[in-house]
Structure 1
Amino acid sequence: MRLIERVWFDKHPARFVLVPLLLPFSALFYVISRLRKFAFDCGLKDSFKAKVPIVVVGNIGVGGNGKTPIVLWLVELLRAQGYQPGVISRGYGGKAPQYPYLLDENSQVQFSGDEPFLIYQRTKVPVCVGANRRASVEKLQQLGCDIIVADDGMQHYKLGRDIEVAVVDGKRRFGNGLLLPAGPLRELPARLTSVDMVICNSGQPQAGEIAMDLLPSQFVNLVTGEKCSVAEFLAKHKAVNAIAGIGSPARFFNTLTALGLTLNHSQGFVDHHHYQMADFDQLPEPQLPLLMTEKDAVKCQDFNLAHAWYLTVEAKLDEQCEQLLLSKISDIMAKKA
């Protein structure tokens, strides 16, 4: 974990120096972001209104709060109801030859970014990336998508939205509660009172929040594609090495230990880390299985890591949440018809 993240979330002693230095910039960030949102709210700046419903899945802070599992869950929920969903994303960490960039079977993760690539691999629904969300939406509308899920983009007010789903890290919550760069927040917690749904990823949900659990599903070998249930994997292996380049690597490592695995060595990297073979050369006891997240795995497929496995997870929410969301979508569909 980087020093600034320890300041934000772990009360590192460096906070006594860094926070006072950064607070003036946080104040400037607050003024600029508030003026920008006010301009959109008052119509001084225009938001693009799509012909189909837009569901934004995002958060008010930086780092991984569990948005991608919610996007995957939502896509499957919509498809089960007969909708034809598509997904748009900024494509952070990717650099495509042109934008909007529509993923297909020949797409490469370095073009799309890791999260859009993972979403496409898991769902096979149309996924389009690019900074211009309007162009991405229009591309998916041309393909026949009748509802679009925006992966992140809660603060991208240029894109009109019909439903906002905010995801909160139930364990880290809002860190020190300060705005960037003195804290991890893009917007203050009061912003959550205006969204349609607040989902709490693990931890104890607060009043009005919907509990979500990320349930380990199976281990998949990075090279062979062999699938192994958690129970089967535990019967064969007890000690493992582990890596994670996500918003909160500790969350992944804690999941592994909670399953009953012993971490011989664990290495966290920054979110969206671009892996190199050198990252794996110095692992102690390299004969042990190397475990990673699915998000890491999409960036390591070109490495011949026969001992590497990734853990797939599924978002679990109650049926009441599903019905609430589907009811909102049905009402919006009727209005747009």
Structure 2
Amino acid sequence: MTTTRSSASLLARQWQHGGWLSSLLLPLSALTAWAVARKRRQYLDGSRPAYRAPVPVVVIGNVYVGGTGKTPMVIATVDGLRARGYTPGVVSRGYGVKIGPDARVGSGALEAARYGDEPALIARATGAPVSVHPKRALAARALLQAHPDVDVIVSDDGLQHLALARDIEIVVQDERGVGNGRLLPAGPLREPASRLQDVDAVVTNIGTPNGPSPTIGTARPRHVQMWLEPGAARQIEGGATRALSAYAGQPRIAAAAGIGNPERFFSTLRAAGITLASTLPLPDHHDYADSPFQAMTADAILVTSKDAIKCAALHDSRLWEVPVQAAFSDPQLFDWLAQALRQRAPG
């Protein structure tokens, strides 16, 4: 385990700053560049057809592999569009779940084991219908068939899934930016950094506000800062709520996170005045088939909403979910999005 973590840490440093390992992998990155360019060219020239939904499609994705904060952005987008008169639906891959040939469509309290943790969280947080399948076009068709009232589709991830035509592309990145600027595996990028110039908006997840916001203008892409504001904690076993400030000054508070960047969650808690006696970073999409908390000596263990979706079966009264809500430097972000959708609506 120590060797695996050490290797992952080395690769993370190389992906951010470059180095001997990154340079060694550059020939493989050239193959990635060729494959990415070829695929994009095929969709642009029509040799590979893309499904054009009868309603507008907003894709929220990233070019940096792994977690950058897409899920809170998807939830905020669904809520923002609904507040402006739309009836949104969501399509997602359903990471880690065997879906089968047909898309799986549901809403409300969905099982993470059947839909994936992020789709289940999005469905619970927004109430919007969610359709999951690795083929986003198939998921979109199934969503519209089951929910014909949906008049805009929000794609959770899928920037590189060009088989689903889109009207708006939003990239979510974090403080790592584009890292060393190289494509996989020499760097962390799924597509060249120049792809950021082709999208409609770049949302940077900064963790906590710490300086002047970017100037809002009409240039494309639109640059916006996002940060995550924590709400009151909710006990997973029992449903009691407690103000996050109640944990400040307590000596035996721990935190765990199975997300793309666990340290971001821990930093959010520390910024709220909580001293963490211990932290447990877990792999993204950790399944919690067995409890990783038995050896933790803590009065309370704070976890993310994405983890809480899967932790109910553990029946551990120490577990408390800390929900977060996205906030933005641009108060007109979703007004802009709604107007852009009206201008680019299919047909």
TM-score by length of 1: 0.91
Per the alignment, residue 223 of structure 1 pairs with: 237
The 5 Å alignment of 1:139-158 reads 139-142=142-145, 143-144=147-148, 145-158=150-163
User: Aligned to 1:34, which of 37, 40, 44?
Assistant: 37
Correspondence 1:1-337 to 2 at 5 A: 2-3=5-6, 5-11=8-14, 16-96=19-99, 99-105=102-108, 107-142=110-145, 143-144=147-148, 145-169=150-174, 171-202=175-206, 208-234=222-248, 237-283=250-296, 285-286=297-298, 288-317=299-328, 318-333=330-345, 336=347
SS of equivalent residue, structure 1 residue 200? strand
Gaps of 5+ in 2: 216-221
Same amino acid, percent of matched pairs: 38
* Contact 1:103/1:117 (8 A) holds in 2: no
- Structure 2 vs 1, CA of residues 89 and 138 (structure 1 numbering), >3 Å: closer, same or farther? same
Kindly tell me: are residues 12 and 200 of structure 1, through their superposed partners in 2, closer, same or farther at Cα, counting changes over 3 Å?
A: closer
Q: 1:181 deviation in Å?
A: 1.2
Report the Cα distance in structure 2 between the residues aligned to 1:308 and 1:139, rounded to whole angstroms. 36
SS of 1:10 mapped into structure 2 = helix
User: Following the alignment from structure 1 to structure 2, what is the Cα–Cα distance between the partners of residues 73 and 14?
Assistant: 32
Q: Alignment length, in residue pairs?
A: 331
Are 1:217 and 1:313, in contact at CA under 8 Å, matched by a contact in 2? yes
Shift of 1:211: 1.2
Question: Counterparts of 2:76 and 2:7 in 1: how far apart (Å)?
Answer: 32
Distance, in Å, in 2 between the alignment partners of 1:16 and 1:187 is: 20
Normalised by the length of structure 2, the TM-score is 0.89
- Structure 1 unaligned regions, length at least 5: none
Partner letter of residue 267 of structure 1?
A: L
Greater Cα offset, 75-84 or 65-74: 75-84
Q: Which amino acid in 2 is paired with 1:213? A: W
Listed one character per residue, the Cα deviations across residues 9-48 of structure 1 (whole Å, up to 9, x for unaligned) are: 4359996453233222111111111111111112121111
Provide the aligned C-alpha RMSD in A.
2.3
Report the secondary structure of 1:92's partner residue: coil
Q: Quote the offset at 1:234 in angstroms.
A: 3.3
**Is the contact between residue 16 and residue 179 of structure 2 (CA under 8 Å) also seen in structure 1?**
no
Aligned residue in 1 for 2:218: none
Q: Give, in whole Å, the separation in 2 of the partners of 1:88 and 1:293.
A: 22
